[in-house]
Structure 1
Amino acid sequence: MAAGLLTKPQMRGLLGKRLRFHIIGAFVVSLGVAAMYKFGVADPRKKAYADYYKNFDAMKEYEAMREAGVFQSVRPKGE
């Protein structure tokens, strides 16, 4: 009698039903990860570069490297 009460398992359309659920879940998770990367990594990095180059003086950096002897083809001042 107990065996008669069990329902038959769904076989037709089971793959499609499960794929639909998992594809929607994967899409939502990927959007979440993309948003976290954009707001957690990309935007702060852009802001850091903008802040760095806002007051950057290329000639001052060049003179500092030249005095330190970084370049092989440029003599330091005074030689």
Structure 2
Amino acid sequence: MAGEVASASASLPRPVLKGRHAQFMKKHLAIGIGMSLVSVYLTKVFVNDKRKAAYAEYYKNYDIEENFHRIRKLGWFDSCSADDD
């Protein structure tokens, strides 16, 4: 019986303890960098590009003179009168 235990433990490989943390960090650093690059790309596509398109549409139809006259009529400007000229 003692011979069986000795032969069973002799056939098991020794655990790798040296460099295990470095191996773990390399693997998880690569995974983390990959996931962050994917999230940056998805944010650009689904958030920033839509926002850029919305701003482009807004300024394509924006009339600065009309907006100026609207704000002037409200009396928000101190430098010009609120009456219609």
Normalised by the length of structure 1, the TM-score is: 0.86
- In structure 1, runs of 5+ residues without a counterpart are none
Distance 1:9 1:67 in 2: 81
Using the TM superposition, give the Cα deviation of residue 8 of structure 1 relative to its aligned residue in structure 2, in angstroms: 2.4
Correspondence for 2:40: 34
One-letter code aligned to 1:19: M
One-letter code aligned to 1:21: K
Distance 2:70 2:61 in 1: 16
State how many pairs are aligned: 79
One-letter code aligned to 1:17: Q
Distance 2:17 2:38 in 1: 33
- In structure 2, runs of 5+ residues without a counterpart are none
Correspondence for 1:59: 65
Normalised by the length of structure 2, the TM-score is: 0.80
Give the ranges of 4+ consecutive aligned residues of structure 1 lying more than 6 Å apart after TM superposition: none
Distance 2:62 2:42 in 1: 30
Correspondence for 1:77: 83
Structure number with bigger Rg: 2
Distance 2:84 2:21 in 1: 79
One-letter code aligned to 1:75: S
Identity across aligned pairs (percent)? Answer: 32
One-letter code aligned to 1:15: H
CA RMSD of aligned residues (A): 2.0
Distance 2:43 2:16 in 1: 40
